[in-house]
A and B are shown apart, each in its own frame.
Chain A
């Protein structure tokens, strides 16, 4: 039995102190995005819900919120897809296999998987939105018998921006998911569909409005158009999930940075129902 001294116990109980995790694999997916696979010492699972996020620390540089992009059904590790946009993310890009990172979380509220069970699922992902979406995609695929029909639509601006290429091949060939992908601006090699993600709605069969749950995850503009498509199919507002991005610091509902009117994206979200967001004036502005 290992003994834990009091200062270590204090550190574990403290809201702001990260747990140490090891990077077990690194995969450069595009110029801008890297996929990290990480695990806690001793193999303790992260125990998250699809759609939740963690605060990733590079000590001495800072912390930033990143969605967990793997499913809790794969508990030996968790994965993070990080786009390089600033200081902390640039440092994350320098990590190697064996590097140690700090993790706080899982944080926030993800998808209510119990509510999704037994339903047909439609996931619409745009750009980096595929990262949080992937935790749910993997979950549905791993627990396939728990769900009805499964449709997945994914759009990016150009072929070079496609993430998770191995997964894309898998999903394309899988009988378990009706998967379609499109790019806004194709290049010479691109053999697939082109056009914005909403053009993929044509590929969908008739959706049962009472039996379908939808997750739309992507940039605000894409969300606005996609939600119109979904509403046009008579799917109720509260059957539509989306995920909000805001500046975050504490990740636990105290520091105020992520507030959207009277809710905190880090605590009440980042996953919200559309019906709830519609009442928040700042949410979709």
Chain B
């Protein structure tokens, strides 16, 4: 049962309402002439709802950079002879992420866990606590190669303030209508605050049921192994020749890490003004495929080969993150596969391992 029904134009008004209090991040179309079709979507800051294009299929990158940016100051410091004073920096700008797909919602739920597992990272939660999430469900696979259904991430039941389900265009016009589910009190208040949405009638309910059934039929499995069995599959694949054979192509560029909505590893660096002694310590995204990720002083590298780094990433995504956090470490968005210059493909990796076994 849907909570509300809303038309596209009314949704836009509601988003503009939010924009008065929060910065709005959502899908924006950008022309990329060298691509076919020559348009790609990116999550970007916008001022007004009409700059968003909610008809997008997928965004090249997930919205992770708005929750844990590529680089961020952890604290600023001042020094004198007597010591130092450090002031942690938190970004609490009220923000709304609009049009977040189920896979990326699952990835955010993963961050919510891993940034608060044994120790709580306030830098993440400062942003997260100030962020409202308005999801956009996917009626079918957004593009070829995704395996979100395999990872249980093509449907999101929580992790959003409100979720939109595009039911299709109106019978009497060409305007998109969405079913809406509330995820939180804030989402409910946002929708009920004005009169833009309506309670679903019997026709709406039928339309929503049909939507769900069509969606169920539209997604299929891509992996030969069920998600629950990936741990067992990888458990016997550690010494497979596949790692070497596949990683031979790897450029160790880290594009897979960069584009992955569930990657969150980081490096920490200091920066200082020599004259005043003041400066900052900041973190930036790091990636386990980069050769220096496990390098220590004295030039010893704990993961010297691309094969060991590829294996590490796949184990982390498919098994280890879940073992520690209880949340699946890969959402099957296939961004790593699309980003990889060497066309290394995770679905192929899983399926070849399954064949070997």
Give A residues with C-beta under 8 Å from B.
7, 10-11, 13-18, 20, 59-63, 85-86, 89, 100, 102, 245-247, 249-250, 252-257, 259-262, 267, 281-282
Q: Which of A13, A89, A256 lies in contact with B265, CB distance below 8 A?
A: A256
Please name 23 pairs of A and B residues whose Cβ atoms are closer than 8 Å in the assembled complex, sorted by A. Answer: A10-B90, A14-B75, A14-B123, A16-B88, A59-B77, A59-B279, A60-B270, A60-B272, A60-B279, A246-B296, A247-B294, A250-B266, A250-B268, A254-B119, A254-B121, A254-B264, A255-B266, A256-B264, A256-B286, A256-B288, A257-B293, A259-B320, A261-B320
- Nearest-neighbor residue (CB-CB) of A98 within chain B: B81
Q: In the assembly, what is the distance between CA of A86 and CA of B298, in Å?
A: 8
CB pair A247–B87 under 8 Å, yes or no, is no
B202: interface (CB < 8 Å)? no
- Bound complex: CA of A210 vs CA of B312, how far in Å? 37
**Cα-based distance from A281 to B77 in the complex (angstroms):** 41
Is there an interface contact between A60 and B119, defined as CB atoms closer than 8 Å? no
Nearest CB of chain B from residue A130's CB, rounded to whole Å: 18
CA–CA, A254 to B238, complex, Å? 24
Closest A residue by C-beta to B277: A60
With a cutoff of 8 Å between Cβ atoms, the chain B residues found around residue A7 in the complex are 87
Assembly CA distance A218 to B189 (angstroms): 60
Say whether, besides A15-B121, A254-B114, A282-B302, A249 and B296 are in contact (CB < 8 Å).
no
Identify the 7 closest CB pairs spanning chains A and B, nearest first.
Answer: A60-B272, A256-B265, A85-B297, A262-B320, A14-B88, A100-B83, A252-B119
Q: How far is the CA of A260 from the CA of B121 in the complex (A)?
A: 22
**Chain A residues closer than 8 Å to B121, beta-carbon distance:** 15, 254
Is there an interface contact between A247 and B296, defined as CB atoms closer than 8 Å?
A: yes
Q: Establish whether residues B83 and A257, one from each chain, have CB atoms under 8 Å apart when the complex forms.
A: no
What's the least CB distance linking B301 to chain A, in Å?
9
Contact (A86, B319) CB under 8 Å given A17-B88, A60-B270, A249-B267: no
User: CA of A257 to CA of B295 in the docked complex: distance in angstroms?
Assistant: 9
- Tell me what chain B mostly uses at the interface: helix, strand, loop, or mixed: mixed
Q: Is there a chain A Cβ closer than 8 Å to B269's Cβ?
A: yes
Please, which residue of chain B has its CB at the minimum distance from the CB of A262?
Answer: B320
**In the complex, which residues of chain A have a beta carbon less than 8 angstroms from the beta carbon of B312?**
259
- Across the interface, which residues of A come within 8 angstroms of B267, CB to CB? 249, 255, 257
Distance (Å) between the CB of B278 and the closest chain A CB?
9
A-B contact count, CB below 8 Å? 124
In the bound complex, how far is the Cα of B295 from the Cα of A60, in angstroms? 22
A102 to B: closest C-beta gap in Å: 7
In the bound complex, do residue B75 and residue A102 qualify as a contact, i.e. CB atoms below 8 Å apart?
A: no
| A281 vs B243: C-alpha distance when bound (angstroms) | 15
Contact A100 B266 (CB under 8 A): no
Q: Which residues of A contact B75 (CB under 8 A)?
A: 11, 14, 16-17
Nearest opposing residue in chain B for A18, CB measure: B86
Please tell me if the beta carbons of A247 and B279 are within 8 angstroms of each other in the complex.
no
Q: What's the least CB distance linking A272 to chain B, in Å?
A: 15
Q: Are A20 and B84 within 8 A (Cβ)?
A: yes
Q: How would residues 85 to 113 of chain B score, 1 for a CB under 8 Å from any chain A CB and 0 otherwise?
A: 01110100000000000000000000000
Q: Does B248 contact A (CB under 8 A)?
A: no
A85 to B283, CA, bound (A): 23
Which A residue sits closest to B320, measured CB to CB? A262
Q: How distant is A236 from chain B, measured CB to nearest CB, in Å?
A: 25
CA–CA, A197 and B120, complex, Å: 42
Cα of A121 to Cα of B293 in the assembled complex, Å:
37
CB within 8 A of A246: which of B117, B268, B294, B308? B294
Contact of A62 among B87, B119, B120, B270 (CB under 8 A): B270
Closest chain A residue to B308, Cβ basis: A282
Chain B residues with CB under 8 Å of A11's CB are 75, 86-88
Chain B positions within 8 Å of A257 at CB level = 265, 267, 286, 293-294
- B82 / chain A contacts, CB cutoff of 8 Å: 100
B118 within 8 A of A: yes
CA distance A283 to B90 in the complex (A): 36
Between A62, A89, A246, A282, the greatest number of chain B beta carbons within 10 A of the residue's beta carbon is seen for A282
Question: A17–B119 Cα gap in the complex (Å)?
Answer: 13
**A59 and B79 contact, CB distance less than 8 A:** yes
Chain B residues within 8 Å of A255, by CB: 265-268, 283, 286
With known contacts A15-B119, A16-B75, A282-B302, A86–B86 Cβ distance under 8 A: no
| 12 extra A-B contacts, CB within 8 A, seeds A15-B121, A100-B82, A252-B119 | A10-B87, A11-B86, A11-B88, A13-B122, A14-B74, A17-B86, A63-B281, A102-B84, A249-B266, A254-B121, A257-B294, A267-B118
Q: Which residues of A contact B286 (CB under 8 A)?
A: 255-257
| Chain B residues, Cβ within 8 Å of A254 | 114-115, 117, 119, 121, 264, 266
Q: Nearest A residue to B79 by beta-carbon distance?
A: A59
Q: Output the nearest chain A residue to B80 by Cβ-Cβ distance.
A: A100
Assess whether B83 is in contact with A20, with CB atoms less than 8 Å apart: yes
Q: Please tell me if B324 contacts chain A, counting CB pairs below 8 Å.
A: yes
Q: Which residues of A contact B123 (CB under 8 A)?
A: 14, 16
Question: Smallest distance from the beta carbon of A108 to chain B beta carbons, Å?
Answer: 11
B228 at the A interface (CB under 8 A): no
Complex partner residue of A61 from B114, B265, B270, B297, CB under 8 angstroms: B270
Q: Are A262 and B270 in contact (CB under 8 A)?
A: no
